């Protein structure tokens, strides 16, 4: 199965995760733009028939419909990466580590993601509370990445990027939209640079091209 349809919104970090994963794997797909804001098209009768949860993105491949971003990353890696490195599910050590990182990615969605929505779209949440939660999650990510650097590693799991990196990347990269700059997070900055260095990398609004970043030697993406 080499083709799918993605229902997406250009400013959504969660939708971007799937677009980025598809680009890195070189997987073609059809894109259906959904007016998430201000149209709230994802809550329309037609969209709710496809996804009763009323969320984006939605991935449709034949009779298969996926509504959870992490599942979409797993599906893409499982079906389109013959090396098995992007999602080493069969590895008794690496597979569970990837799943653990997906837990942090989910927390970043609920903290940094909501803080960003509040900042750019005035989303109806407690802005100060989600910003504090986002800062805590970014501090945890910085500590974990620092441990990886001290172990001589670039990526979150193993010696190759995995879906864990792609799941965590967008909300960390976009945190400045919520006023959470990366000045105090050197390990995060270097890891973001390494992800941007990957062949096939694509951007979204708020995530800059590699050449726009500060000058430094690029991290080795291998």
Number of domains in the chain: 2
Tokens 């990466």, located at residue: 81
CA nearest neighbour of 166 among 7, 9, 23? 23
Residue 81 is given by DSSP the state: -
Strand-pairing partners, residue 204, are 207
Task: Grade residue 220 by pLDDT with cuts at 50, 70 and 90.
Answer: very low
> Is there a single domain that holds both residue 99 and residue 194?
yes
Omega of the bond leading into 30 within 30 degrees of 0 (cis): no
Where residue 25 sits, what CATH number does that domain have? 3.40.30.10
Query: CB of 112 within 8 A of CB of 138?
Result: yes
Q: Are residues 141 and 193 in the same domain?
A: yes
What tokens were used for 32? Answer: 């259906």
Question: Are 74 and 103 contained in the same domain?
Answer: no
Q: Which domain holds residue 29?
A: 4-80
> What would the pLDDT profile of 47-60 be if each residue is shown by its tens digit?
899 899 999 999 99
Inside any domain, residue 218? no
Whether 215 shows a pLDDT value over 50: the answer reads: no
Percent of the chain with pLDDT strictly greater than 70? 92
Sign of the alpha-carbon dihedral angle for 159, 164, 166, 169? negative
Average pLDDT over residues 120-126: 90
pLDDT surpassing 70 at residue 155: yes
Closest CA to 163 of 92, 85, 79: 85
Residues 75 and 150 in one domain: no
Higher pLDDT, 155 or 46: 155
């Amino acid at each position: 199965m080499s083709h799918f349809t993605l229902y997406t919104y250009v400013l959504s970090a969660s939708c971007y995760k799937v677009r980025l994963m598809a680009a890195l794997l070189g997987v073609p797909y059809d894109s259906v733009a959904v007016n998430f804001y201000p149209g709230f098209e994802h809550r329309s009768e037609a969209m709710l028939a496809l996804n009763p949860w009323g969320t984006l993105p939605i991935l449709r491949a034949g009779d298969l419909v996926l509504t959870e971003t992490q599942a979409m990353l797993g599906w893409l890696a499982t079906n389109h990466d013959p090396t098995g490195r992007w999602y080493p599910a069969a590895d008794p050590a690496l597979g569970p580590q990837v799943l653990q990182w997906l837990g942090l990615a989910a927390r970043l969605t609920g903290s940094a993601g909501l803080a960003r929505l509040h900042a750019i779209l005035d989303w109806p949440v407690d802005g100060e509370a989600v910003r504090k939660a986002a800062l805590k999650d970014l501090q945890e990510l910085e500590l974990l990445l620092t441990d990886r650097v001290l172990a001589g590693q670039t990526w979150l799991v193993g010696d190759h990027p995995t879906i864990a990196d792609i799941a965590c990347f967008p909300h960390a990269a976009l945190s400045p939209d919520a006023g959470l700059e990366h000045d105090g997070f050197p390990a995060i900055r270097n890891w973001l640079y390494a992800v941007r260095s990957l062949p096939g990398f694509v951007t979204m609004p708020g995530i800059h091209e590699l050449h726009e970043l500060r000058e430094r030697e690029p991290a080795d993406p291998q």
